[in-house]
Structure 1
Amino acid sequence: MADLKYELDPSPEVGALDDLPGPPAGKASPSGGDSAEGPDTGLLDRAHALLAEHPVADGYSGLPWALRHLPWFDLELGESAVDTDVPRMREGHVAALFWALHLPEGLAGDQAVGATLDQLDLVKTVVRAHPEGLRLACTPGPITDVQHCGRIAVLPGPAGADAIGDSLGILRSLHGLGLRSLTLSGVSWASEAGLTRFGEEVLREMNRLGVLADLSGASEDTVRRACAVSKAPVLCARSAARALRPHPANLPDELLAELGAVGGLCMVPLTAEQTGPSVRDVADHLDHVREVAGPESVGLSGTYDAGTAHPQDLADASCYPHLVAELLRRGWSETGIALLTWGNVQRVLREADFTAREAQRRREPSTMKISELDG
């Protein structure tokens, strides 16, 4: 634990937010929503001030795949062809985000592995080309350092499970190249029937490496078994509340409760399809997930540049203050919002990092093959 202590964020603890200063002069943003429902300027001022202290750690961005189709782009100057660039992330107080490596349907086997490697290379290339705005950061300590330097931390992942084929060696290689999250669905060892014995071995090796398990879109049996097997917190990078909107990737209340019981994290996506067409709909999901899973198990996923429509007034990465203003209007405490935007993601990353350090002391890299466990 001593090693972990030195990586803790030196910024103010969320419990001390009651004395949070007001926003600097001239920081007010345009009001979100129509005049009857949108938050007033005072709430937006408070939202900007709070996010300046505890910015957003965004759980899912589809930017790598979107950038593949552009002949030229500059994310530091601003790029209108996508929903995410450095100016808009700074306006929205985004300090860290996961860049998803998910692939179009139809790619499998060696094609999926190769396409994932291409995307990892693209992520590194894009980050190197934008040194004033972006930094690659894969553990909690560097992520905090990047934030304090005024840059935005980029974490590669999640990738689809088919990115590793059936090889733990490929998983280790992808981790060595920067992968930090893997979605456990759509493969023979993580299917509607749940995790197989090999799937459990994959999860244990992910724990040993510090690769987070993303359970968005996974079957209920897979979610339950992953919660039981994993020694590190699991997350659902794009899941809202099925009780409010019956989307297949949204979680029923019993799974939300199980996720909260093991310290997992449900990251609510800002998409009209999963959460609804308005800021209030998104806030309803956040209220529900917080009530069922607990305040330390709810986070945010912009899901920008992933080919989905977004609620009104949440069109791009600059719009997080509108959502935070709505939560303040509903009576969320500053401490609760700080956990939602930054604290919960940092906790999950730190616990996964600590779990990996301990596992590496006790466990050698797994050499098991799918034929030996599931054959």
Structure 2
Amino acid sequence: MADLQHDLHTTPEVGEVPRPFPPTADVPAAGGTAPPDPDAELLDRAHALLAVHPVVDGHNALPRALRRLPFHDLQLGESALGTDLPRLREGHVGALFWSLHPPTGLAATLEQIDLVRSVIRAHPEGLRPALGAGEIIDARNWGRVAVVLGPAPAAALDDSLGVLRVLHSLGLRVLTLADTSWASEAGLTRFGEEIVREMNRLGVLADLSGASDATIARTLTLSRAPVLCTRSAARALRPHPDNLPDELLAALGAAGGLCMVPLAAEQTGSVLGDVADHLDHVREIAGPGCVGLSGTHDSGAAHPQDLADVAGYPHLIAELLHRGWPESDIARLTWGNIQRVLRTADVTAQTAQQRREPSTATITSLDGGA
């Protein structure tokens, strides 16, 4: 395997830049040379920007896909997959949140974690596990793609705070609060609220994609750490149940959370411009500090044209540049916003651990065994 290590570098601040070139008339320039191609120039700018501010992909389902393959080599590339090391480099992906969905039981989740660890061990020159913002930056500086464990389904906890702590010790950093008796259409129960408090104490982020509106609203009020929606777009543009209405998008932005717009045709639309429309909308309603990206590759979902695999991100960024996004906002979209969320979660956990012992509550004691 080729060694991906390169010299250490720091990430400079990116300021606002002029809008991209308008369409150029088809008239030869002085000396008879062809006029510049604005699309090519935008794509070059996108590559240059992503080289400094790479993509943190909020929901990649590669572990699920690998369970169905008898053999894999991510360095050589796999035609059956949307994720491999050559395409991660081509797409300028700096970190992946590896989803542990859809397994719902503890044993299946542990098997997924074991698989992720084996994949990272098999590709040490391309992948590195990461537990927080600092380790993601370290992985980037050494030319590796950082791998963060999660989101995992809430059912994996088996209604146990002790299991939550064990999964955290194994590296889990994101948990989806949905499809349990304590996080349902009715919202969070008392035990569900205790789960959120313990997640804050540990530094496990709440993922609210797929959660009910009542659960989202209550978690936003309760959580001391920012929350994620790892695969949610704008319901105003496409009425998918995992997409968020404008009032929740605004509340998410006010709470410092992050809406990671998925590259999934069912949620955003069939072409690249549809995804950009959702990014525009989330940015307008929730603010530029509230928007991120979620590839949802290898999840079985259909993807918009030009975004079928992880190599497609530069084309999306070129479209945003064409629409007049300042480079500073794009840098936040791809890299800065999730770094802020992870750093805030770490600080929140450090503070909570000084004030609060590990919870000994049970679902029976709080919800009567509901």
TM-score norm. by structure 2 comes to 0.91
Identity of aligned residues (%): 70
Instruction: Tell me what 1:268 maps to.
Output: 261
Instruction: Tell me what 1:278 maps to.
Output: 271
Q: Note closer, same or farther for the CA distance 1:39–1:345 as it changes in structure 2 (3 Å cut).
A: farther
Question: Which of the residues 148, 156, 160 maps onto 1:163?
Answer: 156
Q: Does the 8 Å CA contact 1:56/1:94 hold for their aligned counterparts?
A: yes
After the TM superposition, list the runs of 4 or more consecutive aligned residues in structure 1 that deviate by more than 6 angstroms: none
Instruction: Tell me what 1:87 maps to.
Output: 86
The CA RMSD measured in Å over matched residues stands at 1.4
Cα displacement string for residues 40-91 of structure 1 (whole angstroms, at most 9, x for unaligned residues):
1111000000000100000000100100111111111211111000100000
State the shift of 1:39 in Å.
Answer: 7.3
Q: Does the 8 Å CA contact 1:76/1:132 hold for their aligned counterparts?
A: no
Question: Which of the residues 210, 223, 233 maps onto 1:230?
Answer: 223
Matches of 2:68 and 2:241 in 1, distance apart? 29
For residues 26-41 of structure 1, what are the structure 2 equivalents within 5 Å? 40-41=39-40
Instruction: Tell me what 1:12 maps to.
Output: 12
The one-letter code matched in structure 1 to 2:89 is R
The one-letter code matched in structure 2 to 1:70 is L
For residues 22-171 of structure 1, what are the structure 2 equivalents within 5 Å? 40-103=39-102, 107=104, 112-171=105-164
Cα displacement string for residues 101-155 of structure 1 (whole angstroms, at most 9, x for unaligned residues):
0125xx5xxxx00000000111111001100100001111111010010000000
Matches of 1:170 and 1:39 in 2, distance apart? 54
Gapped regions of structure 1 (runs ≥ 5): 1-8, 20-37
Instruction: Tell me what 2:252 maps to.
Output: 259
Matches of 1:13 and 1:233 in 2, distance apart? 23
The one-letter code matched in structure 2 to 1:287 is D
Matches of 1:358 and 1:183 in 2, distance apart? 23
Report the more deviating stretch, 38-47 or 359-368: 38-47
Matches of 1:39 and 1:99 in 2, distance apart? 35
Secondary structure at the counterpart of residue 247 of structure 2: helix
Secondary structure at the counterpart of residue 182 of structure 1: strand
Instruction: Tell me what 2:179 maps to.
Output: 186
Instruction: Tell me what 1:26 maps to.
Output: none
Matches of 2:356 and 2:117 in 1, distance apart? 30
State the shift of 1:14 in Å.
Answer: 3.7
State the shift of 1:234 in Å.
Answer: 0.3
State the shift of 1:270 in Å.
Answer: 0.3
Secondary structure at the counterpart of residue 310 of structure 2: coil
Gapped regions of structure 2 (runs ≥ 5): 1-8, 19-36
Q: Does the 8 Å CA contact 1:39/1:325 hold for their aligned counterparts?
A: no
TM-score norm. by structure 1 comes to 0.89
Matches of 1:63 and 1:354 in 2, distance apart? 30
Matches of 2:55 and 2:214 in 1, distance apart? 31
Instruction: Tell me what 1:22 maps to.
Output: none
For residues 302-313 of structure 1, what are the structure 2 equivalents within 5 Å? 302-313=295-306
State the shift of 1:10 in Å.
Answer: 4.4
- How many residue pairs get matched? 342
Instruction: Tell me what 1:355 maps to.
Output: 348
Instruction: Tell me what 2:197 maps to.
Output: 204
Matches of 1:154 and 1:95 in 2, distance apart? 9
The one-letter code matched in structure 1 to 2:126 is G
For residues 205-220 of structure 1, what are the structure 2 equivalents within 5 Å? 205-220=198-213
Matches of 1:266 and 1:43 in 2, distance apart? 25
1:337 matches 2:341: no
Instruction: Tell me what 2:22 maps to.
Output: none
Matches of 2:356 and 2:283 in 1, distance apart? 35
The one-letter code matched in structure 2 to 1:136 is P
Cα displacement string for residues 256-303 of structure 1 (whole angstroms, at most 9, x for unaligned residues):
000000000000000100000011000000000000000000000000
The one-letter code matched in structure 2 to 1:87 is P
The structure with the larger Rg is 2
Matches of 1:203 and 1:281 in 2, distance apart? 34
Q: Does the 8 Å CA contact 1:238/1:268 hold for their aligned counterparts?
A: yes
